[in-house]
Structure 1
Amino acid sequence: MTIRFTMDKITRDGDPVLRQTAKNVPFPLSDEHAQLAKDMMTYLVISQDETKNEQYGLRPGVGLAAPQVGYSLSMAAILVPSIDPHESEDKPFFKGTIFNPIIISESVKRGALDVGEGCLSVDEDVPGFVPRANRITVRYQDENGDKKVIKLRDYPAIVFQHEIDHLHGHLYYDHIDLKAPWQVDNETKYID
């Protein structure tokens, strides 16, 4: 497995591409876009393997959006490990690249990771809860251009929203209440 994107190739906060609205990806996929999708997924696979991760000096990730590697395109690779304790760790909850995703519905109930969020493109930790919809329905295209709909809740919903935010020029810390970053409210589900 050859890795194209290493940490030095990850676009960092401050680069204008991270604040742009990404362009839709046309289908059928060009060879360049298909390769980009493969390369982004390779980063995620290697970053989640402790031995290979160290070898390449990667920060672990569960998602990588095209703007994070310098392409203003509406696509993101997502690799969410199994969240079912009875499932094999080899069978991820979701592994794929989503193209031109749109959140078509979301719950009123909020969800947030109890430790806050991080991002491969943001080197400085910005602490605080990142409130998001706890349940979402996402419509996207797969690598063949087929339309798919997926319903998500809790951790996977947060991962998808984080990556889709990148496609609209938003970073996770845009959602943090900087005056009260760790203020708990009873309407939010905190996910560990």
Structure 2
Amino acid sequence: MAEILQIIQLGDPVLRSPAQVVENVREQRIQNLIDDLITTVAQANGVGIAAPQVAESYRLFIVASRPNPRYPHAPEMAPTAMINPTILAHSTEVVKGWEGCLSIPGIRGFVPRFQAIEVEYTDRDGKFQKQELTDFVARIFQHEYDHLDGIVFLDRLESTQDIITEQEYQKRVLQQISG
């Protein structure tokens, strides 16, 4: 049975270290980690989580976009394990959007990201996947992909003026979005 894992916080050296390639996707340890990450991200109201965020230094993350209290307008998609992912190409258009991180609780940042990306990865069944992601799902992928290289969203900010607390985000930004 999948378990909820402890999410490490900013300051833990694993978050700032490059993750290692997953050699055998079908290994039981990796399959269990995928199940645990899916359970953990759902319980934490996240839309994505990378293995390094639970102190497992593997090039593996889950994209699990769905509406929840932290992201009420997120599109719905099935939780997807993306193993040894790569960004093959990206749009020239860069869009700023609000991001938070389960490893950096309490704050949000207005982060520039590519609007569209072409990616490839291995799925949990060992099958090679290639697809184009856009908008919010592309943002999630880029955020989680950064975790595999020891980068957090704060590193991508153009200015410290682009940081607000979670409380202000909920109060101001979500009110603006819902009109």
| TM-score (norm: length of structure 2) | 0.80
1:22-101 to 2 correspondences below 5 Å: 22-45=19-42, 47=43, 59-81=44-66, 92-101=76-85
Structure 1 residue 129: deviation in Å?
1.6
Deviant stretches of 4+, over 3 Å: none
Report SS of the residue matched to 1:98. strand
Q: Which residue number corresponds to residue 4 of structure 1? A: 4
Aligned sequence identity (%)? 34
Which residue identity does 2:50 align to in structure 1?
A
Structure 1 residue 2: deviation in Å?
5.0
Report SS of the residue matched to 1:117. strand
Cα distance in 2, alignment partners of residues 94 and 156 from structure 1: 12
Match of 1:172 among 131, 153, 166: 153
1:117 aligns with 2:99: yes
Contact 2:100 2:109 in 1 (8 A): no
Q: Which residue number corresponds to residue 105 of structure 1? A: 89
Cα distance in 1, alignment partners of residues 78 and 50 from structure 2: 15
* Structure 2: tracts of 5 or more residues without a match: 68-74, 164-176
Structure 1 residue 67: deviation in Å?
0.2
Structure-2 change in CA distance of 1:124 and 1:80 (3 Å): closer
Cα distance in 1, alignment partners of residues 134 and 46 from structure 2: 19
Structure 1 residue 78: deviation in Å?
1.5
Structure-2 change in CA distance of 1:146 and 1:72 (3 Å): same
Which residue identity does 2:99 align to in structure 1?
E
* Structure 1: tracts of 5 or more residues without a match: 48-58, 83-90, 183-191
Q: Which residue number corresponds to residue 152 of structure 1? A: 133
Cα distance in 1, alignment partners of residues 112 and 129 from structure 2: 26
Cα distance in 2, alignment partners of residues 61 and 32 from structure 1: 23
Structure 1 residue 93: deviation in Å?
2.4
Structure 1, residues 69-97: CA drift from partner, whole Å, max 9, x if none? 00110000121128xxxxxxxx9324211
Cα distance in 2, alignment partners of residues 18 and 106 from structure 1: 25
More helix by share: 2
Which residue identity does 2:126 align to in structure 1?
G
Deviates more, 1:145-154 or 1:21-30: 21-30
| TM-score (norm: length of structure 1) | 0.75
Cα distance in 2, alignment partners of residues 28 and 65 from structure 1: 15
More strand by share: 2
